[in-house]
Amino acid sequence: MKKILTAAVALAVCYRLRPIKAYAWSGTTHEDIVKKSLALLEKEKKQKQVTFYKDYHSEILKGCTQPDEENDIDKGHGKHYYSCVNPKGKELPETNGYYRNRFGDLAVSARTCLEENYTAAVSLYKSGDIKNAMRVLGRAAHFISDMGCTVHVANMKYQDKANNVHYAFEKHVSTTCTRHTADSFDKRLLKYYGKDNFGEASNKLVKYAGKFVDTISHLDPRAFDDVAKNTLPVTQQNVTALLLKFYDDCTSDAGNYILDGKAYTFKNEISGLVLTVTPKGLQLEKPDKELEQKLTVCLTEDGTFGLKIGDGGYVNASCKGYDYLKIDGKPVQFRVTALGKRRFRISTESTGYVKVLANSKGGKLSFADLDPENSAQIWILN
């Protein structure tokens, strides 16, 4: 055990020197991570960012536990995993830069939930809904924290039993998390979080957390403490990096976002075809000023959105028709992931946000399983 603990400490040093029911941490641990991430801004003398967030700590903290609540949009079996290793520590393959959830699917995972919630938070902020933007930012922070949790990057199934590693580790850490605090911020994280996507940042974090699989597998509370001592401060620094990124994206025009009430054209990246309103629903057509080719985004307080057409109807669940709602009716929802340069991926409520809108080979609009490098699933919004 002494050798195992020594190795774990060495791994933490290395990181700092190198460029079913499933709760990843308890609510207590999630809140502790976010509180310390906010405090780290002050410790690092990031005064502009401290001022930016000072009136919204309660909103961020509220959001950071919501994804584990019953009936939440992001709660569900296997969704909060982003697995780079299996329960025995064997490396799992990436697929175009993405790891998979516990059931081997690319979506929905902790990574895709991070991406969609973060884009929603920036969109809400830019649309003037600052309180909800901060709450949804807290939701995004939840998934950074999940990706710093060893059992959720190692595909370890949760069972409510004392001899279940997933259960035992998270329960133990919920009582000891307050002991572990980042001393400083690793500025190299700015490089990873400064990119258009979360790929490098997410993958580095999960690979680090995944190195402790063997250490926690023996159900030794001392080993749990050692892993928490190493992973929690690193996770706090990653959430601080997220907070810094959000500040930058919200205080400049560089961020990729959508605006509530704005009408956009949705042009497919691979074909150049545009979403077009027709009597048979949305279809893909060549750009044509004589056709109705703009859809108005109607954001909700969670940053999901309906798509409104010119006569007041909303795109329906199949995209093959329109819903005309009564007062207080809610349209079918969509979510976006910002990919940089006005490029977005669009997931659909009707599929549980598992599938995304795509240009099929026949030139038709379709719902497809996530394929991160497939330009047919990318939409340019203008």
In a domain, 200, yes or no: yes
Predicted confidence at residue 317, as pLDDT, reads: 98
Residue 294's Cβ-side half-sphere holds a number of Cα atoms within 13 Å equal to 10
Structure token pair of residue 365: 């609009």
In a domain, 256, yes or no: no
Same domain, 190 and 290: no
The rounded distance, in Å, linking the Cα atoms of 84 and 230 is 18
- For the stretch 244-280, pLDDT in tens is 999 999 999 887 999 999 999 999 999 999 999 999 9
In a domain, 18, yes or no: yes
Query: Taking a C-beta distance cutoff of 8 angstroms, is the pair 354, 347 a contact?
Result: yes
Predicted confidence at residue 91, as pLDDT, reads: 98
Nearest Cα to Cα of residue 117 among 81, 80, 74, 75:
74
Q: What's the burial of 89, exposed, middle or buried (CB within 10 Å: 0-12/13-18/19+)?
A: middle
Same domain, 40 and 114: yes
Same domain, 243 and 344: no
In a domain, 158, yes or no: yes
Predicted confidence at residue 24, as pLDDT, reads: 55
The CATH number covering residue 64 comes to 1.10.575.10
User: Which range of residues forms the domain containing residue 289?
Assistant: 263-381
Model confidence, pTM: 0.93
- Other beta carbons within 10 angstroms of residue 154's beta carbon come to 29
> Does residue 38 carry a pLDDT above 90?
yes
Same domain, 231 and 291: no
Same domain, 286 and 214: no
Same domain, 81 and 176: yes
Predicted confidence at residue 9, as pLDDT, reads: 43
Element (H, E) at 168: helix 165-176
Residue 102's Cβ-side half-sphere holds a number of Cα atoms within 13 Å equal to 23
The rounded distance, in Å, linking the Cα atoms of 195 and 255 is 11
Predicted confidence at residue 14, as pLDDT, reads: 43
Structure token pair of residue 205: 């974090």
- For the stretch 157-188, pLDDT in tens is 999 999 999 999 999 999 999 999 999 999 99
Boundary of a domain, candidates 216, 250, 284: 250
Domain count for the chain: 2
Long-range contacts of 43-48, Cβ-Cβ distance < 8 Å, separation of 24 or more: 43/184, 43/185, 44/184, 44/185, 44/240, 46/244, 48/247
Q: Identify the three-state secondary structure at position 41.
A: helix
The rounded distance, in Å, linking the Cα atoms of 366 and 355 is 9
The rounded distance, in Å, linking the Cα atoms of 240 and 186 is 10
In a domain, 153, yes or no: yes
Same domain, 292 and 151: no
> Does residue 16 carry a pLDDT above 50?
no
Q: Identify the three-state secondary structure at position 146.
A: helix
Same domain, 165 and 296: no
Same domain, 335 and 188: no
Query: Taking a C-beta distance cutoff of 8 angstroms, is the pair 278, 288 a contact?
Result: no
- For the stretch 317-355, pLDDT in tens is 999 999 999 988 999 999 999 999 999 999 999 999 999
Same domain, 229 and 332: no
Same domain, 288 and 246: no
Predicted confidence at residue 94, as pLDDT, reads: 97
Return the amino acid letter for 242: L
In a domain, 203, yes or no: yes
> Does residue 11 carry a pLDDT above 80?
no
Strand residue runs (E) in 205-332? 263-264, 266-268, 274-278, 281-285, 295-299, 305-308, 314-315, 322-323
The rounded distance, in Å, linking the Cα atoms of 262 and 123 is 11
Q: Tell how many helices (H) and how many strands (E) occur in the chain.
A: 12, 13
Neighbouring residues of 175: CB distance < 8 A, sequence distance ≥ 6:
none
> Does residue 4 carry a pLDDT above 90?
no
In a domain, 271, yes or no: yes
Structure token pair of residue 105: 């699917």
Same domain, 200 and 305: no
Structure token pair of residue 28: 């207590």
Boundary of a domain, candidates 250, 279, 308: 250
Boundary of a domain, candidates 219, 250, 281: 250
In a domain, 184, yes or no: yes
The CATH number covering residue 306 comes to 2.80.10.50
- For the stretch 191-249, pLDDT in tens is 999 999 999 999 999 999 999 999 999 999 999 999 999 999 999 999 999 999 999 99
Per DSSP, what are the bridge partners of residue 359? 365
Average pLDDT over every residue of 94-106: 97
Long-range contacts of 361-370, Cβ-Cβ distance < 8 Å, separation of 24 or more: 363/271, 363/273, 363/284, 364/283, 364/284, 365/275, 365/282, 365/283, 365/284, 365/319, 369/105, 369/106, 369/107, 370/98, 370/106, 370/107, 370/112, 370/345
